[in-house]
Chain A
Amino acid sequence: GIQVEQSPPDLILQEGANSTLRCNFSDSVNNLQWFHQNPWGQLINLFYIPSGTKQNGRLSATTVATERYSLLYISSSQTTDSGVYFCAVAAGNNRKLIWGLGTSLAVNP
């Protein structure tokens, strides 16, 4: 089955710093999604990005499907960016999401 790997597993930033999170996937997919799980456990869909680049405020994401990776950029990080960032790909007829293990981000004031 499809494997999804994320790096780094943990990241600590000072407020205002920039960061790049990476997601590698094992098979050709066209449906990668990025999620943020806040410290209270809520999962928020950040991007549906099968290919190309999208931006939403201080966040942007790029997927290069032919090379099987996606990047999530966080610029000018804020303490509210803390939490776990997951990438996931949909597979099968039921479109179940296959998840990476996440990158745990802590932004210190």
Chain B
Amino acid sequence: NAGVTQTPKFRILKIGQSMTLQCTQDMNHNYMYWYRQDPGMGLKLIYYSVGAGITDKGEVPNGYNVSRSTTEDFPLRLELAAPSQTSVYFCASREGGRETQYFGPGTRLLVL
């Protein structure tokens, strides 16, 4: 199993541009999460999904959108990028009924 994969690994955006961060898991997990990690901090939840077709907001959803058309994929969309969105983005998944979350390698995003 590849586990949780994320693309791209690194991206530079200009203010106002948009992009999609990709996340795929091959463990057939129902639950998927997007977190962001700012320097020197723990992670904060942006959006999550409990299964295909079901998504909901986390702590810091403003400026982001998600979709979950399949169990495997959970893309995160940034519209009108702002410098405040400079961060490292992590995708995670977990199996229903279990607590352990598995993380992807992260995407480093720099908005200039």
- Chain A residues with CB under 8 Å of chain B are 4, 31, 33, 35, 41-45, 48, 50, 86, 88, 90, 94-102
Contact = CB atoms under 8 A, between A and B. Distances in A.
B43 A99 contact: yes
Interface string B15-33: 0000000000000000101
Interface in B52-87: 56, 58-59
19 contacts: A35-B103, A41-B105, A41-B106, A41-B108, A43-B90, A43-B106, A45-B100, A94-B31, A94-B50, A94-B56, A95-B94, A97-B33, A97-B43, A97-B45, A97-B101, A99-B41, A99-B42, A99-B43, A101-B42
Contacts of A101: 40-42
A71 to B, nearest CB: 18
* B31, B33, B43: residue with the most chain A Cβ atoms closer than 10 Å: B43
Contact of B48 (A33, A43, A86, A96): A96
Given A48-B100, A88-B42, 14 more contacts: A31-B99, A33-B100, A42-B105, A45-B100, A45-B101, A50-B99, A86-B42, A94-B31, A94-B56, A96-B33, A96-B59, A97-B45, A97-B101, A99-B41
B52 to A, nearest CB: 16
B90 A95 contact: no
Contact of A96 (B58, B88, B105): B58
A95 B42 contact: no
A95 B92 CA distance: 12
Nearest to A31: B99
Contacts, number: 57
A94 B88 contact: no
Contact of B102 (A45, A88, A94, A96): A45
Contacts of B42: 4, 86, 88, 98-102
A61 B108 CA distance: 30
A33 to B, nearest CB: 7
